[in-house]
Amino acid sequence: LLDVRRAQLIDVLFLTETWHDGDSVCLRQLRAEGFQVVDRARPRLRIDTLTTNHGGIVVTATSGVRLSVMDIGVKPSTFELLCVRIISGASSFIAATVYRPGSAVISASFFAEMSDVLDRLATFVEPVLLTGDVNIHLERSTDSETSQFIDMLAACGLAHCSTSGTHNLGGTLDVVALRADMLPSQVDVTDVDLSDHSLLRW
| DSSP state letters, 117-165 | HHHHHTT-SS-EEEEEE----TT-TTSHHHHHHHHHHHHTTEEEPP-S-
How far is it, in rounded angstroms, from Cα 33 to Cα 12?
A: 14
Q: Of 70, 14, 76, 71, give the one whose Cα is nearest residue 42.
A: 76
- Pairing of β 91-99 and β 128-133: parallel
Q: Residue 151's pLDDT is what? A: 96
Each residue's pLDDT, cut to its tens digit, for the chain (202 residues) gives 888 888 989 999 999 998 878 778 888 888 898 999 999 987 666 666 666 767 899 999 999 999 999 999 999 999 999 999 999 999 999 999 999 998 788 889 999 999 999 999 999 999 999 999 999 999 998 999 999 999 999 999 999 997 888 888 888 999 999 998 898 888 999 998 888 889 999 9
Q: Left if phi > 0, otherwise alpha if psi is -120 to 50, otherwise beta: which for 142?
A: alpha
Contact 58, 39 (CB under 8 A): yes
What is the pTM for the complete model shown? 0.90
How far is it, in rounded angstroms, from Cα 152 to Cα 113?
A: 11
| DSSP state letters, 40-56 | EPPPPS-SS--S-----
How far is it, in rounded angstroms, from Cα 75 to Cα 134?
A: 16
Contact 95, 117 (CB under 8 A): no
